[in-house]
């Protein structure tokens, strides 16, 4: 009798654990996937012309540029295997000067996104941040080992 009850509880606990596991797994995906998709759209519109849609640096206007656009699938590898989140954010935003960087061929996306958001609109800065963060989530998904 006791063994039967224990077995019942055991399988109920197993089912609950499995349900929790699936719940976490699926919520993880529902948050991540749309963010990556939105970032890919932004990247396609604004960045692919120079960096290529796969981020590898071979966009259609690359031959016309003085500097070669970076291969954006190698950011983690160049940083000892860790994705350089905030340095990448600052590089894309571009409004804060980065030490050791002279003239840059990269447009200043912070200014451009800010103008598109309506510079004086309340919440414009959050819109800018959101767009840059979505792009970074996409870039993070492109990193090669
Ligand atoms: C007009 C061409 C052009 C466009 C458009 C462009 N980039 Fe770049 N990007 C470059 C070039 C050239 C470099 C090399 C560094 C430099 O300019 O100083 C670069 C460098 C970078 C780097 C630094 C990589 C490293 O190894 O440190 C990041 C990150 C980056 N771009 C992201 C983006 C993102 C995101 C977008 C779109 C929002 C974008 N770029 C649009 C030309 C471009």
26/47: higher pLDDT = 47
In a domain, 134, yes or no: yes
Of all atoms in ligand 1, which is nearest to the CA of residue 78?
26
In a domain, 7, yes or no: no
Query: Which pLDDT score is estimated for 115?
Result: 93
In a domain, 30, yes or no: no
Among residues 42, 25, 7, 21, the alpha carbon closest in space to that of 136 is found at 42
Query: Which pLDDT score is estimated for 133?
Result: 97
In a domain, 25, yes or no: no
Q: How many CB atoms lie within 10 A of CB 142?
A: 19
Cβ atoms 98, 91 nearer than 8 A: yes
pTM over the 0.85 mark:
no
Q: 88: Cβ below 6 Å to ligand 1? A: yes
Number of domains observed in the structure of the chain? 1
Half-sphere CA count of 25, side-chain side, radius 13 A: 6
In a domain, 29, yes or no: no
Distance 27 CA to ligand 1 centre (A): 32
In the predicted model, what is the mean pLDDT of residues 35-56? 95
Query: Which pLDDT score is estimated for 97?
Result: 72
Which domain range does residue 94 map to? 36-142
Q: In the predicted model, is pLDDT for residue 72 greater than 80?
A: yes
Q: What is the CATH number of the domain that holds 76?
A: 1.10.760
Pocket-testing residue among 42, 59, 70, ligand 1, by greatest number of atoms within 8 A of Cβ: 70
In a domain, 125, yes or no: yes
Distance 3 CA to ligand 1 centre (A): 65
Q: Tell me which long-range contacts 32-35 makes (C-beta under 8 A, separation of at least 24).
A: 32/137, 35/134, 35/137
Distance 80 CA to ligand 1 centre (A): 20
Of all atoms in ligand 1, which is nearest to the CA of residue 66?
12
In a domain, 114, yes or no: yes
In the predicted model, what is the mean pLDDT of residues 66-76? 92
Q: Write out pLDDT tens, residues 97-118.
A: 765 555 677 889 999 999 999 9
User: Using 50, 70 and 90 to split pLDDT, how confident is the model at 18?
Assistant: low
Among residues 64, 91, 61, the alpha carbon closest in space to that of 75 is found at 91
Cβ atoms 101, 2 nearer than 8 A: no
In a domain, 107, yes or no: yes
Distance 6 CA to ligand 1 centre (A): 61
Q: In the predicted model, is pLDDT for residue 75 greater than 90?
A: yes
From CA 55, how far away is CA 22, in angstroms rounded? Answer: 32
Q: Write out pLDDT tens, residues 77-93.
A: 999 999 999 999 999 99
């Amino acid at each position: 009798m006791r063994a039967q009850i224990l077995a019942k509880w055991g399988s109920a606990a197993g089912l609950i654990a499995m349900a929790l596991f699936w719940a976490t797994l699926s919520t993880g995906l529902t948050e991540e996937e749309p963010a990556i998709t939105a970032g890919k759209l932004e990247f396609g519109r604004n960045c692919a012309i120079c960096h290529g849609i796969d981020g590898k640096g071979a966009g259609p206007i690359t031959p016309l540029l003085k500097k070669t656009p970076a291969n954006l699938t190698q950011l983690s590898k160049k940083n000892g295997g860790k994705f350089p989140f905030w340095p990448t954010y600052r590089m894309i935003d571009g409004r804060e000067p980065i030490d050791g960087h002279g003239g840059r061929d990269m447009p200043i996306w912070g200014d451009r996104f800010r103008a598109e958001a309506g510079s004086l609109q309340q919440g414009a800065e959050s819109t800018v941040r959101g767009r840059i963060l979505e792009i970074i989530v996409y870039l993070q998904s492109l990193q090669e080992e």
